[in-house]
Chain A
Amino acid sequence: MNFNRVLHFAFAHFYRNKGTSVAAIFILTITTLLITGLFFMQGASSYVISEVQNKIDITAYFKADASEEAILQVRKDLLEKSQAIKNIEYVSKESALADFNAKHADDPTFSRALTEVGQNPFLPSLNIVTNGDTSQYESIATILQQDQYAALIDKVDFSEKKDTIEKVFAITRGITRFGVVLGIVLLLIAILVVFNTIKLIVENSGQEISTMRIVGASNWFIRAPFVIQGVIFGAISFVICFIMTSVFAYALAGGLAIIMPGFSLSGYFISNLLIIIAIQLLAGMGLASLLSFIVVRKYLKV
């Protein structure tokens, strides 16, 4: 019975203060969209970073006479010795030649050059991609340079790529760090703006809250309508945000695919649907009701 009354108070307050209610929903919608945007940005930047990292590899070129069995044994050893390896691709002499021919099929100069050489000049290789930073590449290079592999391995190209790899990792680390800091700053600003909006709404009822205390209303009876009103603000802003996010995710997917080939915005939206719903509900309903709960406290001290 009491809950019904509290619910009625909340809806009545919401309806009778249409101006402030609309303002609060607008602010919450902007905040929720901002937080959702940060989530999408995080997804996109993670994708770009992982794409860049996947393109960084270390290649061990084996001597022309190294047998496939021996090379695959090295591959097996590496996988056993290092947890940091994401993938090792074996490229035989034949497939290296085939890749080369396919790549330069339109240019007869290359095929003429190969004919001049008279034999397959490519070496068999292992192409290694790790999960993380440059030190992992360095440790793998060290393993490959051990004496037991000296008779098999012609060269390891890590030292040639080292500077580039370090630069790329430094840039991706920088981007990640900047994204986190920017996200936190924007989030704090958004929370402050919502806090001030809720504060204005509650302050508008400050005298009324004090009067409610004087006539003997319990804290719960006074506070609950404001908290529920926060939930109403959040629920409406959630619906608006969810519709807008869906529209944006599908409308921008095509354009974004041109800038970031392989990244599907709509696919990211669908695969993270539950997380996005949780974020938007939490950002809207959670934030507004929690802040209402906190702000009303000031007026309950009567």
Chain B
Amino acid sequence: MIKFDKVTKIYPSGDIVLQDVSFEVKKGEFVSIVGKSGAGKTTLIKLILGLEEPTYGDVFFEGQNIHTISGEALQEVRRKIGSIYQDYKLLPQKTVYENVAYIMEIEGKTNEEIETQVPKVLEIIGLKEKMDNFPDELSGGEQQRLAVARALVKHPDVIVADEPTGNLDPYNTYEVIALLERVHKSGKTVILCTHDKEIVNKLQKRVITIENGRVIRDEEKGRFII
């Protein structure tokens, strides 16, 4: 489903963030990408979403080279990916309800579908009571749950989560990871970037370990070893 083929990323400053990275994520897999801060995990996510260009190599999504497709096709790919970030990347000028509804509006869903679906999703993540609030009126945990809701509402083929628990307390961390596991069980592909040892070891899923921009380990039922 997602393939990295000998990808190297060098920033204009000369920093080599990724070096000759190759791996493939199959449909329905749950993959944790682990590494220290600055190991290149976020760059890897940005390459999947077409937010960065590889210096060398190619990144494929369902057989399409993300960095050679048209802008429109890239947006189509992004619509198939639900992305969750450590800094949430919510729409600050839209309410909780509108943040989730916006994703469905992009996809051209009808008003009826949106009016039925969005409250349901917000109820599942426990934000139904706050649907008219703005993101800056929510706690960190609530904002991250909203980001998860936004990623899930469009029923994406893949969920890409970049340090989704980085700003959360243990209780909210558990909730977000439980949500991701539930999504995975429903047949979706999940890519989780984290440096949280406890989460990775508990998941007992495939782990790709990155160090200094290189893949040093790729294990089917891996553990966090750095």
Contacts and interface: CB of A to CB of B under 8 A. Distances in A.
Interface of B: prevailing SS = helix
Contacts of B103: 215-216
Nearest to A217: B106
Contacts of B78: 213-216
A218 B77 CA distance: 12
Given A215-B102, A218-B106, A208 B91 contact: yes
Interface string A205-230: 10110011111111101000000000
B13 interface: no
A248 B113 CA distance: 53
B46 to A, nearest CB: 10
A1 interface: yes
A1 B105 CA distance: 10
Given A16-B93, A207-B92, A219-B71, A214 B106 contact: no
A173 interface: no
Contact of B106 (A17, A208, A215, A302): A215
Nearest to B111: A1
B93 A216 contact: no
B168 to A, nearest CB: 20
A2 interface: yes
Nearest to B83: A214
A13 interface: yes
B66 to A, nearest CB: 13
A162 interface: no
A302 B91 CA distance: 16
Interface string B68-89: 0001100111111101000001
A161 interface: no
Contacts of B98: 12
Nearest to A207: B92
Contacts of A221: 105-106
B105 A214 contact: no
A76 interface: no
A220 to B, nearest CB: 10
A104 interface: no
Contacts of B76: 216
A98 B37 CA distance: 104
Nearest to B108: A2
Contact of A211 (B79, B91, B105): B91
Contacts of A17: 93
A302 B71 CA distance: 10
B90 interface: yes
Interface band, chain A: 20 to 34
Contacts of B75: 213, 216-218
A86 interface: no
B49 interface: yes
Contacts of B139: none
B223 interface: no
Interface in B102-140: 102-103, 105-106, 108, 110-111
A15 to B, nearest CB: 11
B83 A218 contact: no
A5 interface: yes
B174 to A, nearest CB: 26
Contacts of B94: 12
B110 A1 contact: yes
Nearest to B78: A216
B150 interface: yes
A212 B150 CA distance: 12
Given A1-B110, A5-B105, A221-B106, A211 B89 contact: yes
B93 A13 contact: yes
Interface in B26-40: none
B51 interface: yes
A218 B91 contact: no
B51 A214 contact: yes
B132 to A, nearest CB: 13
A217 B102 CA distance: 9
A203 to B, nearest CB: 13
B146 to A, nearest CB: 13
Interface string A190-215: 00000000000000010110011111
A211 B90 contact: yes
Given A212-B102, A218-B72, 16 more contacts: A1-B111, A5-B105, A12-B93, A12-B94, A205-B93, A208-B92, A213-B75, A214-B83, A215-B79, A215-B102, A215-B150, A216-B75, A216-B80, A216-B103, A217-B75, A218-B106
16 contacts: A1-B111, A2-B105, A13-B93, A17-B93, A205-B93, A211-B91, A214-B49, A214-B51, A214-B78, A214-B83, A215-B79, A216-B75, A216-B77, A218-B72, A218-B106, A221-B106
